[in-house]
Amino acid sequence: MRKKLILLMIVLALSGILHSCAPAGPAEILVGVNAELTGAIPMVGAACKNAAEMAAEEINAAGGLEIGGKKYKIKLVIADNENKPESAAAAATKLITQDKVLIHIGANASKNAIPASSVCNELQCPMISPWSTNPNTTLYKPWVFRACFIDSFQAGVNAQFGMEEFNATKGAVLFDIGSDACYYQGFFFKKTWEKLGGQIVAFETFTTGDKDFTAQLTKIKESGAEVLYVPQYYDEVPLIVKQANRLGVTEKTHIIGHDGWESPDLCKLCGADCNGLYFTTHWAVDIAGAKTQAFIKKYKEKYGVDPDSVAGLTYDAMYLFVQAAKNCGKLTGNLAQDRKCIRDGLAAIKDFEGVTGTMTPTEQGDMIKSVHIVKIDCDAGVFRWYKTVQPKTFE
């Protein structure tokens, strides 16, 4: 018995020696993803999650992220914000304080990104929102960045496009008063339209969850509006457009929209009713360069669907983090210090070449980048590139 015990101790000792001599694997970096996986816009959350996972797999397959001569594996910590502002804030708090993530990616819809950004800024954790265009997401929040353009630019582009494309002077807006993103898009559209010499003849609102827009659309029809701006999400647009067609609004009024329209589900829900309509977005597949085409091909092979702009922007957000880490130069192991280093690394980025375009952050953390206008062809199931507008500020 004594001999067996001695033999076991020798085996264990040798095992420990061999284990200590084995080369250590890469260290691990925790990246938080705060996404709308459930709720009204699950396609947004799915695209965000998919693209983040694809980017992490690429980085890890290449041996990990190298910072200061040391390799780090990326581990995603994914949280569902349920497309609710309070859940987005709670998810951000948990990711930062309990999960100890180095950086926070998301949320996407502005109503979720704004409360999440307040948490990230207060707790001093760097955040990149892939898809939130509302100015309040980054305003006075030095720890917060975005991968997309902002509402004032996008809505200004829509106002200018609507006036020039349709030779229009009378504009109208229909939006959800309970959504920060939709409200600001409507406000900035109105401001630019009037600055360009036009008249807003109808400024109509509804409440989140409404399904009947007859009253608002009737007022818009009676107003004589030549262009109707609908800054809503892909799940609501089909209801509005179908009712507008049924009421005869579109006989004299052109409907245009923003990036919230973009989803593979738009044509499934809207069909031919949406054919020929225009919206602004972050990229256009049919004019994409080699880097973007490679991403599109790989994403479709992996997930079986074409990526939308949320996927592209999330993928860019992940690689903006990679660039920030390289700019940082070294991780110390002190989470607070390392978060600060990543934050400074994000601020130092210049002319980053992403799949959604070339971008440089402003001091406010907003990206200077182009806006694309696409035309809907639901018969073919595609959004065709129509025009690109270069960065410009609409004050």
Instruction: Tell me the mean pLDDT in the region 85-104.
Output: 98
Output the furthest CA–CA distance in the chain (Å, rounded): 99
| Residue 190 clears pLDDT 50, i.e. is over it | yes
> Which residues make Cβ contacts (< 8 Å) with residue 159, sequence separation at least 6?
171, 189, 192, 193, 196, 198, 229, 394
Q: What is the CA radius of gyration of the chain?
A: 24
- The DSSP code for 278 is E
Quote the pTM value.
Answer: 0.85
Q: Nearest-CA neighbor of 181 among 240, 255, 216, 129?
A: 129
Q: For 58-81, what is each residue's pLDDT tens digit?
A: 999 999 999 999 999 999 999 999
Q: What is the pLDDT of residue 26?
A: 67
Q: For 346-389, what is each residue's pLDDT tens digit?
A: 999 999 999 999 999 999 999 999 999 999 999 999 999 999 99
CA distance between the termini of the chain:
87
Reported as a pLDDT band with limits 50, 70 and 90, residue 25 is low
376 pairs with which residues across the strands?
383
Report how far Cα 154 is from the mean position of its chain's Cα atoms.
14
Q: For 194-248, what is each residue's pLDDT tens digit?
A: 999 999 999 999 999 999 999 999 999 999 999 999 999 999 999 999 999 999 9
- The DSSP code for 25 is P
Tokens representing residue 344 in the block: 């400074």
Q: What is the pLDDT of residue 5?
A: 45
175 pairs with which residues across the strands?
205
CA distance 340 to 344: 6
Q: Which domains does the chain have, with CATH numbers?
A: 27-149+288-364 (3.40.50.2300), 152-281+373-389 (3.40.50.2300)
Element (H, E) at 70: strand 70-80
| Residue 170 clears pLDDT 70, i.e. is over it | yes
Q: What is the pLDDT of residue 284?
A: 86
Q: What is the pLDDT of residue 394?
A: 46
